Amino acid sequence: MRNVKLTVAYDGTNYHGFQEQRGTGLATIQEVMEHCLGRLVGRRVQVIGAGRTDAGVHAHGQVVNFNAAGWPIPVERIPLAINGLLPADVIVTDAREVGEDFHARRSARTKTYLYSIWNNRVPSPFNRLYSSFQPVPLDDGAMSTACVHLMGTHDFKCFQAAGATVKTTVRTLYRVEVIREGSLVRFIFKGDGFLYNMVRIMTGTLLQVGMGKTDPESIKSVLESRRRALAGPTMPPHGLCLEYVEY
Amino acid sequence: MRNVKLTVAYDGTNYHGFQEQRGTGLATIQEVMEHCLGRLVGRRVQVIGAGRTDAGVHAHGQVVNFNAAGWPIPVERIPLAINGLLPADVIVTDAREVGEDFHARRSARTKTYLYSIWNNRVPSPFNRLYSSFQPVPLDDGAMSTACVHLMGTHDFKCFQAAGATVKTTVRTLYRVEVIREGSLVRFIFKGDGFLYNMVRIMTGTLLQVGMGKTDPESIKSVLESRRRALAGPTMPPHGLCLEYVEY
């Protein structure tokens, strides 16, 4: 086995998420990558992705690994070769050889997600595919205070999509921050793992604080309640981006 | 007559330019705006645009004016009303009432265009529609020097698309600058007017300087020659954006 790790950036607008959806006829990032890598390697290739991003979700730094055995191309030449076949909205930005035991999902130590809000009284035609539009002015200070309450190790069950089942809903967030660049408000979440829809629900909850509907301290009781109904709405997928995966 | 001036931002990707193309069945910004304004005003509306952007060219600050006579809505409510009808890639960002003699094109004193280059060894899926990809490292200092030679009043005939006919090819550029934000290189051109394809050809010429194919001083002799063949290539439309029109 020759284990190769690729970093992938994609505009998720035209894809039905990362994961292969066999027999549905829907294009996914995994299928596009496996198809193009397969053409280069000359046999069927299977890629393992770090995060199963949903339909419409973007990535700056998704990571995948695959077995490049029998493919003699030097690893540093892989991005140019594969980008020549990939569509313009999926780009391999880096390639390196890794140990046999590297697994893009299981070896990941932390993941960083960004959620972007276009906070202006009029929408932006240029950010419409990469941010969620929110015309109500947001209180950045109140949202920053609320962010602090999300950091650390907690049971995040209240921020998990209803119906999802996992062994444990305890996760650790190392960084929760809100940064404004003009009309663009970015929520940054770095953690050891995320529950289904967790980032989109946390952002929806922080926005309620920013709009003055709830106060920053209420986040603590929402967390303690473990009740999805007490958290904010699930934000739409197109504002979300998998920024970075750390190993 | 009730003369209303609108500022319009649009993602030109899916349009065949600003100007109406009667009977072609191709969507243009002018047609989309006239259609939506007509529905609001209750009669056929004609808009006059400041700049006739080409197919694929974007705008942050295109300006149009139209006669809103008989339409009782307060001018400050117009953006919200029209944006409710316009597609998501065309947005009115401002509206104000202006004097009867205001003409979006003829009254314009200066226009500012931006041309964006994605200068990285790998393309960007997020900037692919709004910048031109250039993997060769660019010498920003050399390009800045060349920019200085373009400023001022010159005969810009060498930067005009072959075959175009205008009374005079003399124009004045008040600002020509190159600004880098990470991998994004932005060329800024502010002038009293622009010849057909002038910004795209000036950018192509500056890039040849940036790649070391010609030296910054050569711009002077290219200008003096008045020969299109001595200038650089015409850059593709999708990197171009009409940023601002001054009155």
Per the domain annotation, does A105 fall within a domain?
A: no
Q: What is the DSSP letter of B169?
A: -
Looking at the fold, whether A10 and A85 belong to one and the same domain comes out as yes
Q: Which residues of A110-133 are buried (b: 16+ CB within 10 A; e: fewer)?
A: bbbbbbbbbbbebbbbbbbbbbbb
Last residue of a domain, which of B74, B98, B122?
B98
Q: Is A239 exposed, middle or buried (0-12, 13-18, 19+ CB in 10 A)?
A: buried
Is B54 in the active site? Answer: yes
What is the pLDDT averaged over residues A217-239?
Answer: 96
Residues spanned by the domain of A235: 110-246
What is the count of structural domains for chain B? 2
**Under 8 Å between Cβ of B183 and B120:** yes
Looking at the fold, whether B25 and B136 belong to one and the same domain comes out as no
Looking at the fold, whether A119 and A228 belong to one and the same domain comes out as yes
Q: If DSSP codes are grouped into helix, strand and coil, which group holds residue B246? A: strand
Mean pLDDT of chain A: 95
pTM metric for this prediction? 0.92
For B42, residues 6+ apart whose C-beta sits below 8 A from its C-beta are B70, B71
Q: Is the ipTM of this complex over 0.95?
A: no
Rounded distance between C-alpha atoms, residue A137 and residue A175, angstroms? 24
Strands A170-181 and A90-97: unpaired
CATH code for position B62: 3.30.70.580
Q: B interface mutation test: which of A11, A78, A184, A186 has the most B CBs within 10 A?
A: A11
B93 phi and psi angles, rounded to 5 deg = -100, -15
Looking at the fold, whether B8 and B94 belong to one and the same domain comes out as yes
Q: If DSSP codes are grouped into helix, strand and coil, which group holds residue B146? A: helix
* pLDDT for the residue A134: 97
Looking at the fold, whether A81 and A120 belong to one and the same domain comes out as no
Per the domain annotation, does B40 fall within a domain?
A: yes
Looking at the fold, whether B210 and B91 belong to one and the same domain comes out as no
Q: Given an 8 Å threshold on Cβ–Cβ distance, is B123 in contact with A91?
A: yes
Looking at the fold, whether B114 and B74 belong to one and the same domain comes out as no
Partners of A186 in the beta sheet? Answer: A116, A179
H or E element, residue B80: helix B78-83
CATH code for position B230: 3.30.70.660
Percent of chain B with pLDDT over 90: 92
Q: Given an 8 Å threshold on Cβ–Cβ distance, is A11 in contact with B128?
A: yes
Q: Kindly list the residues from chain B whose CB atom is less than 8 angstroms away from the CB atom of residue A124.
A: 9, 91
Query: How many A-B residue pairs are in contact by the CB < 8 A criterion?
Result: 52
pLDDT band at B24 (very low <50, low <70, confident <90, very high): confident
Q: Given an 8 Å threshold on Cβ–Cβ distance, is B130 in contact with A130?
A: no
Last residue of a domain, which of A76, A98, A120?
A98
Q: Which residue has the higher pLDDT, B20 or A185?
A: A185
Q: Kindly list the residues from chain A whose CB atom is less than 8 angstroms away from the CB atom of residue B125.
A: 9-11, 58, 88-91
Nearest Cβ partner of A93 from B88, B93, B122?
B122
**Catalytic pick among A54, A89, A155, A192:** A54
Q: Kindly list the residues from chain A whose CB atom is less than 8 angstroms away from the CB atom of residue B92.
A: 122
Last residue of a domain, which of A64, A98, A132?
A98
Looking at the fold, whether A89 and A115 belong to one and the same domain comes out as no
Rounded distance between C-alpha atoms, residue A227 and residue A205, angstroms? 13
**Under 8 Å between Cβ of B193 and B168:** no
Per the domain annotation, does A10 fall within a domain?
A: yes
Looking at the fold, whether A234 and A115 belong to one and the same domain comes out as yes
Per the domain annotation, does A195 fall within a domain?
A: yes
Looking at the fold, whether B71 and B171 belong to one and the same domain comes out as no
Per the domain annotation, does A196 fall within a domain?
A: yes
Q: A interface mutation test: which of B60, B91, B131, B184 has the most A CBs within 10 A?
A: B91
**Model confidence pLDDT, tens digit, residues B101-131:** 999 999 999 999 999 999 999 999 999 999 9
Q: Give the number of other Cβ atoms within 10 Å of residue B162's Cβ.
A: 9
Looking at the fold, whether A88 and A119 belong to one and the same domain comes out as no
Residue B87: closest CA among chain A residues belongs to which residue?
Answer: A125
Looking at the fold, whether B83 and B155 belong to one and the same domain comes out as no
